[in-house]
């Protein structure tokens, strides 16, 4: 058997997305489905039933990752894992994470219907957590599977309401007495499909993104301590104006980013000013710096130059500088060889693709550090995500399912 034969229904995936979006639906048309919440439990339990209906063996692991398994005929201990995460940000959209689970479910269902039992085992996974929106930790689902987390990490973690992580986990049905973060060694490949969360595919009228790398990320908070003073009585030459220093820094850091590499992305999204009053010179400014690139060298080099630049500016203005680095994620390379093998297959469907870098983090990033991993994108309308306005057309959703089927077929049949 060399080909995928399945009866396709374009609306099938859209219906599944709409169905799952009910769990945690907000009045604004978005979805809020936080880790271990009531809505989260309902979503996972309903997905479990759906997997059973698709003829899968189902099980939860000790932290609440849900698996739907189709055992392989020849290599049952070699697992091809496909899926994404079930949690959302607060007031998120219907597609981020959810689409990857449902596309996997549908692809596997169709493959089994049309082509029977795979040679290798396929598992569809609904990962319990990726966003870090309820508790301040991300990738709880995938990192547990890879042995990258332990209970120690979450021992003192609480949400904004003061509910402890461990209490929330137990309330959702996952007692810590059963906890394990033993690395799963049976997984031979992880395959994730996700919305792009950017506008590259849409702007270039493309259907599929073949992701080669997930960017590394460094995030800093730059604190500038100058001197608050009267806006009318302090000559320009005698000021230690933290706002002007911050403005000069952001301006120059952006210019430096643009000349360093076209793939480099540098963002100041947050600024906090004190006292933040129109007629008082700002004594204290804190701003963030989010820096992303898929090559460690470029990332390191830019950060080095950036810190030098900020230091020089602060010194010149008599301003005290302190820098805190609070995120440091290394870039991850994905399985591009598999993409190469699939290019003709994608084209033969009349679909247009491009190789691209993911500027956002994904569970594929966690698995990609341990085993061959593939990440595919479908377009996001206007590049919007983490918003009720998040949207991907039913056609693009279905194209993604079709391509995913081909990838799974090659990996497991």
Minimum distance of a second copy from residue 236's CB (angstroms): 5
Q: Is 194 annotated as a binding residue?
A: yes
CA distance 107 to 401: 6
**Is 219 among the residues that bind a second copy (CB under 8 A)?**
yes
Of residues 57, 270, 308, 354, which one binds a second copy by CB under 8 A? 270
At its nearest, how many Å lie between a second copy and the CB of residue 323?
14
158 binds a second copy (CB under 8 A): no
The reply on whether position 206 binds a second copy by CB under 8 A is no
Query: Of the candidates 25, 90, 271, 298, which one interacts with a second copy according to CB under 8 A?
Result: 271
Q: Using an 8 Å Cβ cutoff, are 329 and 365 in contact?
A: yes
370 in a labelled binding site: no
In the complex with a second copy, the residue whose CB is nearer, 11 or 270, is 270
Q: What DSSP string describes 322-364?
A: EEEEEEEE--EE--HHHHHHHHHHHHHTT--EEEEEE-S--HH
User: Does residue 296 contact residue 216 with C-beta atoms inside 8 Å?
Assistant: yes
Candidate residues 54, 81, 127, 257; the one interacting with a second copy per rule CB under 8 A: 257
Compute the distance between CA of residue 286 and CA of residue 15 in angstroms, rounded to an integer: 45
- Applying CB under 8 A, the span of 59-67, 138-146, 181-189, 212-220 interacting with a second copy comes to 212-220
| Options 137, 200, 298, 309; binder of a second copy; rule CB under 8 A | 200
> With respect to a second copy, which residue has the nearer C-beta, 54 or 378?
378
Q: How many residues bind a second copy (CB under 8 A)?
A: 61
Does the protein bind a second copy through residue 385 (CB under 8 A)?
yes
1 scored as a contact of a second copy (CB under 8 A): no
Q: How far apart are CA 184 and CA 121, in angstroms?
A: 14
Q: Is 205 in the site for a second copy (CB under 8 A)?
A: no
Contact 291, 261 (CB under 8 A): no
Q: Is 299 in the site for a second copy (CB under 8 A)?
A: no
For the chain, counts of helices (H) and of strands (E): 12, 16
Q: Does 243 help bind a second copy (rule: CB under 8 A)?
A: yes
Member of 146, 310, 360, 366 binding a second copy (CB under 8 A): 360
361 binds a second copy (CB under 8 A): yes
11 phi and psi, to 5 degrees? -85, -10
Its sign, for the CA torsion 157, 163, 167, 169, is: negative
Q: Which residues are paired to 321 by β-bridges?
A: 224
The CA angle 397-407-332, to the nearest 5 degrees, is 90
* Of residues 174-193, those binding a second copy (CB under 8 A): none
Distances (CA, A) of 231 to 210, 236, 249: 53, 9, 21
Among 2, 177, 262, 348, binds a second copy (CB under 8 A): 262
- Interface pick for a second copy out of 254, 296, 308, 312 (rule CB under 8 A): 254
The span from the CA of 364 to the CA of 332, in Å, is 9
386 known ligand binder: yes
Q: Is the peptide bond before 275 cis (omega within 30 degrees of 0)?
A: yes
What does the alpha-carbon distance between residue 339 and residue 210 come to, in Å, rounded to a whole number? 7
The residues, ordered by sequence, that sit 6+ positions from 21 with a Cβ below 8 Å of its Cβ are 31, 94, 98
Q: How far is the CB of 268 from a second copy (least distance, A)?
A: 5
CB closer to a second copy out of 278 and 350: 278
Residue with tokens 């399985």: 335
Judged by CB under 8 A, the stretch of 17-25, 143-151, 180-188, 354-362 that binds a second copy is: 354-362
* Binding site per annotation, positions for allantoate: 219, 279, 292
* Binding site per annotation, positions: 85, 96, 131, 194, 219, 279, 292, 386
Q: Note the residues at the interface with a second copy (CB under 8 A).
A: 196-200, 203, 215, 217, 219, 229-238, 241, 243-244, 246-251, 254, 257-258, 262-271, 273, 275-282, 288, 290, 292, 358-361, 383-386
């Amino acid at each position: 058997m060399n080909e995928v034969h399945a009866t396709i229904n374009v609306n099938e995936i859209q219906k599944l997305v709409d169905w799952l979006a009910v769990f945690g639906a907000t009045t604004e048309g978005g979805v809020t489905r936080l880790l271990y919440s009531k809505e989260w439990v309902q979503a996972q339990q309903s997905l479990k039933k759906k997997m059973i209906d698709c003829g899968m063996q189902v099980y939860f692991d000790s932290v609440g990752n849900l698996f739907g398994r189709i055992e392989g005929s020849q290599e049952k201990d070699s697992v091809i894992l496909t899926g994404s995460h079930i949690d959302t940000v607060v007031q998120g959209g219907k597609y981020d994470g959810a689409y990857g689970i449902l596309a996997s479910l549908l692809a596997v269902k169709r493959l089994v219907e049309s082509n029977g039992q795979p040679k290798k085992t396929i598992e569809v996974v609904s990962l319990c957590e990726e966003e870090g929106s309820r508790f301040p930790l991300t990738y709880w689902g995938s990192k547990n599977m890879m042995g990258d987390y332990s209970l120690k990490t979450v021992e003192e973690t609480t949400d904004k309401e003061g509910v402890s992580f461990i209490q929330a986990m137990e309330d959702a049905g996952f007692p810590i007495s059963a906890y394990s973060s033993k690395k799963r060694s049976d997984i031979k490949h992880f395959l994730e499909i996700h919305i792009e969360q950017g506008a590259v595919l849409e702007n270039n009228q493309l259907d599929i993104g073949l992701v080669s790398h997930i960017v590394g990320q460094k995030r800093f908070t730059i604190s500038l301590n100058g001197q608050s003073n009267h806006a009318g009585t302090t000559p320009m030459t005698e000021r230690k104006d933290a706002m002007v220093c911050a403005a000069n820094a952001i301006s120059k850091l952006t210019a430096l980013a643009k000349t360093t590499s076209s793939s480099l992305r540098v963002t100041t999204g947050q600024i906090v000013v004190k006292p933040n009053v129109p007629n008082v010179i700002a004594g204290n400014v804190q701003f963030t710096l989010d820096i992303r690139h898929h090559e460690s060298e470029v990332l390191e080099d830019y950060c080095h130059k950036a810190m030098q630049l900020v230091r020089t500016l602060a010194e010149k203005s008599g301003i005290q500088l302190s820098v805190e680095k609070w995120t440091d994620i290394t870039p991850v390379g994905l399985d591009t060889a598999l993409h190469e093998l699939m290019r003709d297959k994608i084209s033969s469907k009349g679909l247009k693709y491009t190789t691209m870098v993911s500027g956002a983090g994904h569970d594929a990033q966690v698995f990609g550090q341990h085993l061959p991993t593939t990440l595919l994108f479908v377009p996001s309308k206007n590049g919007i995500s983490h918003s009720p306005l998040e949207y991907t057309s039913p056609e693009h959703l279905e194209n993604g399912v079709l391509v995913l089927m081909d990838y799974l077929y090659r990996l497991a049949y």
